[in-house]
Structure 1
Amino acid sequence: MMDEGDAPMRSDDDIKISDSFIRNLQECEERCRHICLKELPGQMSRTRDDQVRNAAGGFVFAVSDETRIRRFIILGTTGGTYYSSEKELTMDNVNALIDIIERGHGSLILKEVYEISLAGRNPKQDPLLLALALCARYNLCDSTSKSGKDGKALEEGDVPAAKLKYLLELHKAAFEIVNDVCRIPTHLFTFVKYCEMVSQSTQSNSGKKSTGWGRLMRSAIQRWYASKTPEQLAMHLTKYPQRGGWSHRDLFRLAHPTLKKSSSSTTILEFEQLYHFASKGELKTRKRNLSKEDADIEQPASKYSAVQMDTELQSRALDLVETVIALKNEKNEAKVVDAIKKYHLVREHIPTDLLNLGRCLASSFGGNADDCYDQKSRENAVHEGFDRIFSRFCRR
């Protein structure tokens, strides 16, 4: 006789549940779910005190300051949303950043701007540069209010003394990271444009209006040009002469960069020439190439050393600028190709009428014409294949 513990285990095939039991169970489950859903309060009514109303009219949880900042810097306002137009969304986000600054957390914006910019996480630069300009030029005061010469500005004015000190330190910190964030002149021009816009739109109505071009602004522009090597500066001046209605001449006219901190003792003549090119659009004759009469008039030997004049004479940066100036009227394709290969010129340096020539275009990309055409053919084949797949998908 077998004990209960020795009874054989029943297989899954031997266990069967009647269909009627399953149907009854499913009907009960459906009724239970329906009742539970009806008892839920829904998103259109507030269930907690920390919920806020969104653009659709529902109540959701508010995001943190860091999330709002990252959304604006990374996503920007491109395309808008389903509920708000692009313009409305832009104002909402800028107002959110202003609120963060007003609550004394401007350092959060600068931290996110710096980290996101260096990591390359932002697909577009404009939102990031606008956030940086907001920190750099928000709520400017006139010089009288800053110094408190009227005796009441720091106590009874629009901006209390503690807040004025906080905004001043925020402006300084913002300008300190301009060199790291604005890596090319296009970024610098856009930043300057936004700085003027922010300074004009966020100033108080009382008191003297500030143009936005105070000492901090001018010093930041001066440091940007002074931080470049002669080769880097020559490439920036020739590749990006103007963008978005701003040019290097405009910045030099407003910021007045000097040569005090821009160069070492041996390269001062190179920077002097490049600064002259940025403001005048031309280079002066190099000191070693001056005629005897001109040299006696300028007296370069008494002002510059032989090492400085030799450095200017052999400067590759000045050679690049002279080559780009000469290429503006160049019609010989072979000379253009030689200049591209020698000085690593890019597409912006090539004359427009020679840009479509195969050798010039290919040389600017570091290859030959055949490689350029082959690459273009492969790209066209990929696009055609994608179009066929997309059309087939749409027909379905």
Structure 2
Amino acid sequence: MCSKDPYFFQTLANDLGGSTAMDSSSLPEQETGNCTSETGSVPAVTEEVRLRRFLCYGSESATYRAREQRNLCLERASSVTELLAAGRGGEAVQEVRSMSLRGGVRSPGPALFALAVISQHSDVEAKRAAYGVLKEVCTSPSELFSFVQYKKELSGAGQRGMWGRALRKAVADWYNGRDALRLAHDVTKCKRKGGWSHQDLFRLAHLKPANDAVALVSKYVTKGWKAVQETYADREKTEDVMKVFVYLEAVEKTKHSSDELEVAHLVEEHKLEREHVLTKHLKSREVWKALLKEMSVSTLLTHLGKMTADKLLGPGSPDTAAVCERIQDEHALQKAKTHPLSVLLAAENYKRGHGKRGKLKWKPNRDIIQALDSAFCKCLSNVESTGKRFVVGVDVSSRLGSVALGSLVSTVTVAAAMSMVITRSEPNSDVLLFSEGAVVPCSISADSSLLQITMQLVQVCSSYTDCTLPITWASENDKMVDVFVIFTNNETWPGRSNPAETLRTYRQKTGILSKLIVCGMTTNSLNVVDPDDQGMLDICGFDSHTVSVIRDFIMDVI
């Protein structure tokens, strides 16, 4: 069925809520950036680039998959072993450290795995460097447990034993290097993971507490709260020890209290988090109100469905109004650098009324939907310009109503939102609708709404895909382009020529080292770009991390 079907239009309009109109006066003026591309040959894909790709999304290939491949192994991190073999283990450690500190990685797993590999190697300096950055790379107990598990798996594969002096010291330093009150928060929020617990690590690392406050946490972890009470209840305490004692006491009271008002008071006074609260108390309005005061916007967005399902967010209620105010808090959105696509994905998931897994269902609250649409608009100004010249090509050879792999969002919504974000943040950009033999420029003005852009995308319907057309259009119209971004639903490309070859021809003609990103939104396998060309990237599906991958690729990080 062609996308011109009126029922499809109505359904789409209902799904989008029709409330994403933009106020151009609220958007900051963007300065036109000059092109910084240099002519010359395309840089080779080096070990450093492959390592940064691995650290960014768990694969060294030129393909990012929204459906995550969870198994990390030496074969997928060959760049690490190659750098170690070349005596460049220290450089690998610094890449791990810098990528972890800058953020934007899909998960900490690859960085922790890379450090575990380096720490197992015979290069003494590289091992020392790997352990030396462990405190910076591991920011939570969950990550420390993962690192230790990777060490165990690598040791079990026939490598040297893991609990030597260096690992014991590194783990002990991790605990002793944290502020005691923060450590109390960490050990009570995340108690175990992957078969490891804090008690295990304290014992295996032969931990000797660095001060009295850490000693209190150590006794709590190894002996329990009753032993802490017996030892510290009547003892004179320093200020730091008292803070830790009072915090742990609040955690224990929260675990055993049946009074939701008392739990709410403890949460608010001691800044406890959801993980500290029993499941039965998460149906309490008072407890949620207390949790929301310190909850980040990103965490709040993930819990909207649960809160609605538990009848905590009724239509027109004060609680709903408070949550809507938090969602639209422009200062908080800017401080967190929330990307509009992150809000959009959360909004579309919320509108569906059910989670990806499990049986959780809810009736979407229209006030929440409108707040999310408003937050999307406000976050547009959070996207920093790259200063590059863009052509965005949207393949309209097939219906764009299917769901993007890795999310619950329709492909037409993804394409429209990305087109909107790029044109708002990049002054020099064109959006094209294309199918076999046809290229139609898509007009997106400063006050175009997401719904209006979406309607432009679905009104053209053809039969075949030719992903070379946006590049050819740029060449024929003498457009100077730094980045081509192509969105398509199809898994095959029956075009007359190859996109990679067409891009090389364009580069030769213009002298610009243009980059090509092809996003196959419904496939988990894509082979369009040249994997040996550092200026080409395949994307399979679309998830909340995709926008970070695209930006890092454009800015030569990966």
TM-score range, shorter chain: 0.5 to 0.7
Q: Report whether the alignment pairs 1:275 with 2:215.
A: no
Alpha-carbon distance in structure 2 between the residues aligned to 1:286 and 1:271: 17
Alpha-carbon distance in structure 1 between the residues aligned to 2:81 and 2:45: 16
The aligned runs of 1:65-144 (5 Å cut-off) are 65-77=47-59, 81=63, 86=69, 91-138=74-121
Question: Where does residue 222 of structure 1 map in the other structure?
Answer: 172
Q: Deviations 1:202-255 (Å, cap 9, x if unpaired)? A: 62xxxxxx4301000000011011111221111011111112332111111211
- Check conservation: 1:78, 1:86, Cα contact below 8 A: no
Aligned-partner residue type, residue 179 of structure 2: T
Question: Where does residue 248 of structure 1 map in the other structure?
Answer: 198
Please state whether the residue corresponding to 1:315 is helix, strand or coil.
helix
Question: Where does residue 36 of structure 1 map in the other structure?
Answer: none
Q: Deviations 1:182-218 (Å, cap 9, x if unpaired)? A: 1111111111111112233262xxxxxx430100000
The aligned runs of 1:1-396 (5 Å cut-off) are 63-77=45-59, 81=63, 86=69, 91-138=74-121, 164=122, 167-201=123-157, 203=159, 210-259=160-209, 262-263=210-211, 268=212, 270-282=213-225, 283-285=227-229, 289-290=233-234, 309-311=236-238, 315-366=242-293, 369-374=319-324, 375=327, 378-381=367-370, 382=372, 390=413
Question: Where does residue 142 of structure 1 map in the other structure?
Answer: none
Q: Deviations 1:320-368 (Å, cap 9, x if unpaired)? A: 1111112212111110111011101111111110112122112112078
User: How big is the shift at 1:280?
Assistant: 2.5
How has the CA–CA distance of structure 1 residues 356 and 77 changed in structure 2, closer, same or farther, with 3 Å as cutoff? farther
Please state whether the residue corresponding to 1:310 is helix, strand or coil.
coil
- Check conservation: 1:100, 1:106, Cα contact below 8 A: yes
How has the CA–CA distance of structure 1 residues 97 and 310 changed in structure 2, closer, same or farther, with 3 Å as cutoff? closer
Question: Where does residue 27 of structure 1 map in the other structure?
Answer: none
Please state whether the residue corresponding to 2:178 is helix, strand or coil.
coil
- Check conservation: 2:54, 2:60, Cα contact below 8 A: no
How has the CA–CA distance of structure 1 residues 360 and 250 changed in structure 2, closer, same or farther, with 3 Å as cutoff? same
How has the CA–CA distance of structure 1 residues 75 and 107 changed in structure 2, closer, same or farther, with 3 Å as cutoff? same
Aligned-partner residue type, residue 199 of structure 1: S
User: How big is the shift at 1:276?
Assistant: 1.0
Gaps of 5+ in 2: 1-41, 295-317, 328-364, 377-408, 414-453, 462-558
Aligned-partner residue type, residue 72 of structure 1: F
Aligned-partner residue type, residue 156 of structure 2: Q
How has the CA–CA distance of structure 1 residues 168 and 346 changed in structure 2, closer, same or farther, with 3 Å as cutoff? same
Please state whether the residue corresponding to 1:223 is helix, strand or coil.
helix
- Check conservation: 2:282, 2:288, Cα contact below 8 A: yes
Alpha-carbon distance in structure 2 between the residues aligned to 1:369 and 1:70: 44
Q: Deviations 1:41-87 (Å, cap 9, x if unpaired)? A: xxxxxxxxxxxxxxxxxxx985212111111101213999599x958
Alpha-carbon distance in structure 2 between the residues aligned to 1:230 and 1:387: 46
Q: Which moved more, 1:93-102 or 1:218-227?
A: 93-102
Q: Deviations 1:295-329 (Å, cap 9, x if unpaired)? A: xxxxx8xxxxxxxx331797121111111112212
Number of matched pairs:
279
Alpha-carbon distance in structure 1 between the residues aligned to 2:125 and 2:412: 56
- Check conservation: 2:267, 2:290, Cα contact below 8 A: yes
- Check conservation: 2:96, 2:111, Cα contact below 8 A: yes
Alpha-carbon distance in structure 2 between the residues aligned to 1:354 and 1:79: 45
Question: Where does residue 13 of structure 2 map in the other structure?
Answer: none
How has the CA–CA distance of structure 1 residues 330 and 285 changed in structure 2, closer, same or farther, with 3 Å as cutoff? closer
How has the CA–CA distance of structure 1 residues 179 and 371 changed in structure 2, closer, same or farther, with 3 Å as cutoff? farther
Please state whether the residue corresponding to 2:229 is helix, strand or coil.
coil
Please state whether the residue corresponding to 1:323 is helix, strand or coil.
helix
Please state whether the residue corresponding to 2:107 is helix, strand or coil.
coil
- Check conservation: 1:249, 1:278, Cα contact below 8 A: yes
- Check conservation: 1:241, 1:248, Cα contact below 8 A: yes
Please state whether the residue corresponding to 2:258 is helix, strand or coil.
coil
Relative to the length of structure 1, the TM-score reads: 0.62
- Check conservation: 1:79, 1:86, Cα contact below 8 A: no
How has the CA–CA distance of structure 1 residues 117 and 81 changed in structure 2, closer, same or farther, with 3 Å as cutoff? closer
Alpha-carbon distance in structure 2 between the residues aligned to 1:281 and 1:120: 35
- Check conservation: 1:80, 1:87, Cα contact below 8 A: no
Alpha-carbon distance in structure 2 between the residues aligned to 1:329 and 1:355: 14
Q: Deviations 1:72-110 (Å, cap 9, x if unpaired)? A: 101213999599x95899654323321221121111210
Q: Deviations 1:260-282 (Å, cap 9, x if unpaired)? A: xx12xxxx1x3222101112232
- Check conservation: 1:361, 1:369, Cα contact below 8 A: no
Query: For the pair shown, which has the larger CA radius of gyration, 1 or 2?
Result: 1
- Check conservation: 1:68, 1:93, Cα contact below 8 A: no
Please state whether the residue corresponding to 2:293 is helix, strand or coil.
coil
- Check conservation: 2:180, 2:240, Cα contact below 8 A: no
How has the CA–CA distance of structure 1 residues 378 and 73 changed in structure 2, closer, same or farther, with 3 Å as cutoff? farther
Alpha-carbon distance in structure 2 between the residues aligned to 1:174 and 1:388: 42
Select the structure that is richer in helix.
1
Please state whether the residue corresponding to 2:79 is helix, strand or coil.
helix
Query: Which structure's relative contact order is higher, taking Cα pairs within 8 Å and 6+ residues apart?
Result: 2
Alpha-carbon distance in structure 2 between the residues aligned to 1:63 and 1:314: 53
